[in-house]
Amino acid sequence: MNAVLRRLFALLLCCAAGTPHARGLLFDEEMRGHGYWDGELRTLHFVLDVRIPDIDRWRASPAHPAQVSGSLRLDAAAPQTLAGTLEILAPAPNQDGRVLVYRLTAANWRFLGAKLVRNDGGFDLIDDVTTLHGVLLPRTAAWPSVGSLVDDGQWSSEVQFEWWRPSIVLAFLDSFATIDTPWYEVPWVKYVFIDTTFGAVAGEFLFDLL
Amino acid sequence: MDFDPDRRNFLAAACAVAAGLCLPRGAQAAAPPRTPLSRPLEQLRSQYSTLVIGSGYGGSVMAARLAGGGPLALFERGREWLPQDFPDTGGAVVRELRSDAAPLGLFDYRSGSDLDALVGNGLGGTSLINANVVIAPDRDVFGAWPAAIRDAYQSGAMDVHEQRVRAMLAVETAGASLRKQQMHASTTARRRRAGASVDFRRLDLAVNLSRYAGTANAEGVVQTSCRLCGDCVSGCRTGAKNTLDVNYLRAAARGGAEIYTRIEVGFVERAGGLWRVHYVARPAGAPPRRGSVLAARVVVAAGALGSSQILLRSAAMGLVLPAALGTRVSANGDFLGLGYNSAVQTDTVGFGEGSPRFDQRQVGPTITGAAQYAAAHPAQRFLIEEGAWPRALADALRVLMPATASAPDVPAGQRELRDIAGLRANGALNHSMVYLGIGHDSAGGRIALDATGQARIRWPGLPAEPFVARMREEMRRHAAEFGASLVESPRAHPVFGAALTTVHPLGGCPMGADAGSGVVDADGRVFDPRGGVHAGLYVTDGAVIPASLGVNPLLTIAALAERMAARMTA
C-alpha cells in the first residue's frame, strides 16, 4: 500500500509540473586513511563528489550506481583528479550483506574499494558504512574482484569517513543537493534516497533481530 | 655450591608427576606424521666415543657431522615434540613454562635480577620456539674473538660453513604482501627520509614457505608448507618450520647417532682418560633416575645458560676451569617493544590452525623483515625486526593491553573496545607492531648458579647501556609514524624489577686466545688453566660467543659448529 501511495504521489507531482525531470541528487564525501602504493604505506585523502543523475533509475538498478568525480592526495603530493563510479549498497558477493563499491581512475592509477555492511560482529553499523577497504593499482591493471576485498581481506588501503569529527559530518550533510529537480519534488528525491539506503541497511541489521 | 642432592631428589620426584600432568593436548593438527628420533633409555650404553650434550644449533650440527666416527650419543634434557603437540592456548603455554615442577616444559624462561632469558627446551633446542631468522653478522664485529675466527670471517673462509648451514636449513624469504612487513618497510622509509641511516631488508628464514608441499624434504621428513599463521614462536603445529629435528638431527640419526631425550646433564668429571657425564633421566611414566656414562669426547652444547651451568657445576665438583667461566655474557643487544594501536591494520596476531578471521589477512612467519641501522662503528649498529604474537597469547593480550595505554582518538578507542569485546580481529592488537631490537652490548653480564644450581644472569647496569636508549627511541619513532605508542615489556618497569629480556643469551664459556681470556679456544676446546686444554672436552654453542653479534645468532652458532666439526674430523 505504501508503495502505491508513493507512486501516486509522484504521478500527481509530475502531472502538476507538466515537464518530466531526471530528478537527481548529489553529495560530497571526504575520507582519510592509509594505502599501500609504490612499496610504501601512504596517507590518503579522498575528496569525492557523488552524483546520481536520475534517482529512479538509480533506485531501480540493484547495484544503485552513481557517478563520482573528485581528487585523491597521496602523502604531501598535489591532489590528482579522479573519476569513476560508486555502487551504493549493492548486494555483496555471495549475497552476504551490502557493499558500497568505489571504482576510481586517475592519470596514473586506479582504486577499487568497498565498504562492507554486514551484520557480523556486534553493532558496528557506523564502522561498516564509514570504513573503506581497497587497493591502489597501476592504471592498466585489471580490476580485482570485490570479493577479494570483502571476503578474502586482500585490501591494502583503509580510509575512513571521519564520523567523529563534527565538521566532517556537518559538511557531508550540508552537501546534499538535488539535480534538475523541481522544488516541489526535492523532498521526494531525498526521501527516495534515504528510503533506499536506510532500507538496505535496515535489511541487514534489523530484520535479523525481528 | 648450594646444590643439595636431597633437594634435587625431591624436585625430580615431583617433576615426574608434574610433567605427566603438564603434557600438551593430544593430536589435532593435520601435520604429516613423523618418525620419532629419540630412543628408549633402555638402549643407552655405558660408554661412547662421543657424547653431545644438547640439541640446539651447536649440538645438532656436531652430532650430524661427527656421527659415524664411533659410537655417538646425544642427550637432550627436554622431550621430543611432534608438531601437533605444541601448545595453542594460553593455558597450555603456561603449563609449558619450564620449572622445577615441570622440567620438560617447552619454554625455559630464566628470570634474573637484571636480565631474563627465554630459550627452548626440547629436541631441537630453541629452534622449536624461535623465529628461524638466518642472517650473517657483519664481518667486522669479531674484534673480541680469537684471531683464528676473526681471520676466518674476514678471509671468507667462514662463508663455506655458512652456506652449508643455509643449505641444511633450506632457507627461504617471505614475500612482500604481508601487512606487518609493509608497515615496517614504510616506517623505515619514513625514518630514512627523516635522516636516519637505515634501510629495510627482508630476511632469510628457516621456514618451509614453498619448497615442500606435503612432500619429503632432503632428510625424508614430509613437510607441509607454511600457512602464514604467525605461530612460529609457540611451536609450529603444521610442521612447516625447518627446526633441527627435520634436518641436522635426522642426518645425525641416519649417520648412527643415538638420540636420547629427557636426560639432563648435571656435571662432567675426569675418569682416567675418559669423561664421566652425570645425568638425571626423566623417562615417561617412570620416576627420575640418576646415572652416568663415559665418553672419550664430550661436546657440551646446551646453550649459553645450559653449557655454563654444566661447567659451573663441574667446577664445583672439582674440575679445574678457567676463571673466565660465566663471563662475557651478552644479551645480543636484545630489546623488546610493542608499537601499540596504530592507525594501520598490521595483522600481527597469529590465528593458529584455523583460517584467518574475515577481517584479517595472513600474518606470515613471526619475523620476516628488519630495519637495519648502519653506523661506522659496529657497536652503534642495530636491527629492529618486526614480529607477531602467537595465537595462544592473543586473547589475554587483547584484554590486558588496553589497560596499558590511553587511546589518543576515537578510532583508537574503538579498536581497544573491539579487542575487549573479542568479536572481531581488527582491534588494537592487530593494529600494532611487535618489535625485536638486536644490537650490541658490552657483554658485561655474568652467569652464576643460584641456590638451586640453576644458571642465572647478573648484569647490574644493563638498562643503562647505550643500545637500550638508542633502540627505545627508534622504536618510539617507528611506532609514532602511524599513531601508535611504544609499550615496553612489563619487566622493564621498575615495579616489576626493571629487567630486560633476551631471546638470544650468549657467552658464559667465551672463546679466547688462552685460559686467561677465555674458556675455550677457537676450536671449542676447553682450556685447562694449568696448561693446555682438557683433552676431549668441548663447548660448541652460543656459550662460546664472546660478544654480541648484532643479528639473530643461529647462523653464526651453527657455522662455528660446522667449522669445529670439520677441524675435529680433519
Quick check: B19 pLDDT over 50? no
Query: Which whole number is the average pLDDT over A182-203?
Result: 90
Residue with cell 635426522: B250
Minimum CA–CA partner of B411 in chain A: A164
DSSP states of B196-265: --EEEEE-EESB-SSS-SSEE-TTS-EEPPP---S-GGG--TTS-B--GGGTHHHHHHHTT-EEE-SEEE
A166 in reach of chain B (CB within 8 A): no
- Write down the pLDDT at residue B177: 86
Contacts of B360 in chain A (CB under 8 A): 153
Cα within 13 Å of Cα(B245), Cβ side: 29
A96 in reach of chain B (CB within 8 A): no
Short-list B65, B27, B130, CA closest to B365: B130
Quick check: B311 pLDDT over 80? yes
Short-list A51, A61, A50, A55, CA closest to A20: A55
d(CA B513, CA B516): 8
| Mean pLDDT of all residues belonging to chain B | 92
Radius of gyration of chain B (CA): 23
Confidence of residue A2 (pLDDT cuts 50, 70, 90): low
Short-list B167, B56, B171, CA closest to B539: B56
Stated pTM of the model? 0.90
ipTM of the prediction greater than 0.90, yes or no: no
Query: Which whole number is the average pLDDT over B208-235?
Result: 95
- Write down the pLDDT at residue B3: 40
- Write down the pLDDT at residue A7: 65
Minimum CA–CA partner of A36 in chain B: B182
Q: Do A160 and B411 touch (CB under 8 A)?
A: yes
pLDDT in tens, B376-413: 999 999 999 999 999 999 989 999 998 877 888 999 99
pLDDT in tens, B137-178: 999 999 989 999 999 999 999 999 999 999 999 999 988 789
Quick check: A1 pLDDT over 60? no
Residue to mutate among B177, B187, B344, with most A CBs inside 10 A, is B344
Quick check: B438 pLDDT over 50? yes
Quick check: B5 pLDDT over 60? no
Contacts of B424 in chain A (CB under 8 A): 120-122, 124
Contacts of A36 in chain B (CB under 8 A): 182, 186
A55-89 b/e (C-beta count within 10 Å ≥ 16 → b): beebeeeeebbbebebebbbeeeeeeebebebbbb
- Write down the pLDDT at residue A119: 79
Chain A: nearest CA to B540, how far in angstroms?
Answer: 42
Quick check: B489 pLDDT over 90? no
Confidence of residue B7 (pLDDT cuts 50, 70, 90): very low
Instruction: Nearest by CB to B358, from A36, A41, A151: name it.
Output: A151
Strands A98-105 and A109-117: antiparallel
Confidence of residue B15 (pLDDT cuts 50, 70, 90): very low
Confidence of residue B301 (pLDDT cuts 50, 70, 90): very high
A vs B: CB pairs below 8 A: 43
d(CA B311, CA B445): 17
Q: Do B414 and A36 touch (CB under 8 A)?
A: no
Quick check: B564 pLDDT over 70? yes
Instruction: Nearest by CB to B358, from A33, A122, A153: name it.
Output: A153
- Write down the pLDDT at residue A199: 84
- Write down the pLDDT at residue A121: 58
Chain B: nearest CA to A68, how far in angstroms?
Answer: 26
Confidence of residue B27 (pLDDT cuts 50, 70, 90): very low
Quick check: A104 pLDDT over 80? yes
Q: Do B424 and A156 touch (CB under 8 A)?
A: no
- Write down the pLDDT at residue A6: 64
Domains and CATH numbers, chain B: 1-30+106-118+172-205+207-236+333-503 (no CATH), 36-81+122-170+242-324+509-570 (3.50.50.60)
A38 in reach of chain B (CB within 8 A): no
- Determine the residue type at B551: V
Residue to mutate among B347, B358, B482, with most A CBs inside 10 A, is B358
- Write down the pLDDT at residue A5: 61
Minimum CA–CA partner of A43 in chain B: B482
Quick check: B455 pLDDT over 90? yes
Share of chain B above pLDDT 90, in %: 86
Backbone angles phi, psi at B448, to 5 degrees: -140, 160
Q: Do A154 and B361 touch (CB under 8 A)?
A: yes
Residue with cell 632432503: B218
Residue A156 sits at the vertex; the CA angle it makes with A154 and A161, to the nearest 5 degrees, is 115
Chain B: nearest CA to A35, how far in angstroms?
Answer: 9
Q: Do A158 and B186 touch (CB under 8 A)?
A: no
Chain B: nearest CA to A72, how far in angstroms?
Answer: 19
Residue B464: partners with Cβ closer than 8 Å, 6 or more residues away: none
Confidence of residue A200 (pLDDT cuts 50, 70, 90): confident
Quick check: B26 pLDDT over 50? no
Per the CB < 8 A criterion, the answer to whether B127 and B80 are in contact is no
- Write down the pLDDT at residue B2: 41
Residue to mutate among B178, B184, B345, with most A CBs inside 10 A, is B345
Instruction: For CA atoms B364, B23, B52, B327, give the dihedral sign.
Output: positive
Contacts of A94 in chain B (CB under 8 A): none
Query: Which whole number is the average pLDDT over B458-484?
Result: 96
pLDDT in tens, B62-85: 999 999 999 999 999 999 999 999
Confidence of residue B17 (pLDDT cuts 50, 70, 90): very low
Q: Do A156 and B356 touch (CB under 8 A)?
A: no
Residue B322: partners with Cβ closer than 8 Å, 6 or more residues away: B512, B515, B516, B518, B519, B527, B529
- Pick left, alpha or beta for residue B28 (phi over 0 → left; psi -120 to 50 → alpha; otherwise beta): alpha
- Write down the pLDDT at residue B9: 38
pLDDT in tens, A48-98: 999 999 999 999 999 999 999 999 999 999 999 999 999 999 999 887 889
Contacts of A39 in chain B (CB under 8 A): 185, 189
Query: Which whole number is the average pLDDT over B475-504?
Result: 92
Quick check: B357 pLDDT over 70? no
- Write down the pLDDT at residue B32: 83
Quick check: B4 pLDDT over 50? no
Chain A: nearest CA to B178, how far in angstroms?
Answer: 10
CB atoms within 10 A of CB B395: 15
| Mean pLDDT of all residues belonging to chain A | 88
- Write down the pLDDT at residue A123: 66
For chain B, the residues whose C-beta falls within 8 A of a C-beta of chain A are 179, 182-183, 185-186, 189, 343-345, 356, 358-361, 409-411, 414, 421, 423-424, 482
What are the cell numbers at B256? 648412527
Contacts of B356 in chain A (CB under 8 A): 153
Query: Which whole number is the average pLDDT over A132-156?
Result: 93
Contacts of B482 in chain A (CB under 8 A): 34, 41
Query: Which whole number is the average pLDDT over A96-112?
Result: 94
- Write down the pLDDT at residue B175: 82
- Write down the pLDDT at residue A73: 96
Instruction: For CA atoms B348, B352, B356, B359, give the dihedral sign.
Output: negative
Domain boundaries, chain A: 21-209
Quick check: A16 pLDDT over 90? no
Contacts of A33 in chain B (CB under 8 A): 343
Contacts of B411 in chain A (CB under 8 A): 160, 164
Quick check: A8 pLDDT over 90? no
3-state class (DSSP) for residue A178: strand
Confidence of residue A161 (pLDDT cuts 50, 70, 90): very high
Per the CB < 8 A criterion, the answer to whether A195 and A88 are in contact is no
Quick check: B190 pLDDT over 80? yes
What's chain A's length in residues?
210
